[in-house]
Amino acid sequence: MIKIDRYRCGYCGACVTVCPTEAIDLLGLWIEIKDEECNGCKACVNICPVGALELEHVV
Ligand code: SF4
Ligand code: SF4
């Protein structure tokens, strides 16, 4: 699952644009990732300009 650092996020929307499964909801100053729709492709992690997203491995 993707972990969001909400203090870092600048709400630019880049991750929303790049997500192939539309798993990211961005509404004003609120961002949320629907775990059940995320396939772990890391596109959002790679595009985020401020490094606010991180792929967490569930053990
Ligand atoms: S890892 Fe991929 S599928 Fe999951 S939220 Fe990021 S861009 Fe979307
Ligand atoms: S790309 Fe990064 S800074 Fe932009 S909305 Fe997504 S998490 Fe926030």
Residue 45 in contact with ligand 2 by CB distance below 6 A: no
Position 3 scores a pLDDT of 97
Work out the number of other CB atoms within 10 angstroms of the CB of residue 33.
Answer: 20
pTM: 0.94
Question: Where residue 11 sits, what CATH number does that domain have?
Answer: 3.30.70.20
> How many angstroms is it from 59 CA to the middle of ligand 2?
26
Tens digits of residue pLDDT in 4-54: 999 999 999 999 999 999 999 999 999 999 999 999 999 999 999 999 999
Question: Residue holding tokens 């790049």?
Answer: 18
Domain containing 7: what range? 2-55
User: Residue 24 CA to chain centroid, in angstroms?
Assistant: 6
Overall domain count for the chain: 1
For residue 10 the two structure tokens come to: 């600048």
Give the residue whose CA is nearest to atom 6 of ligand 2: 15
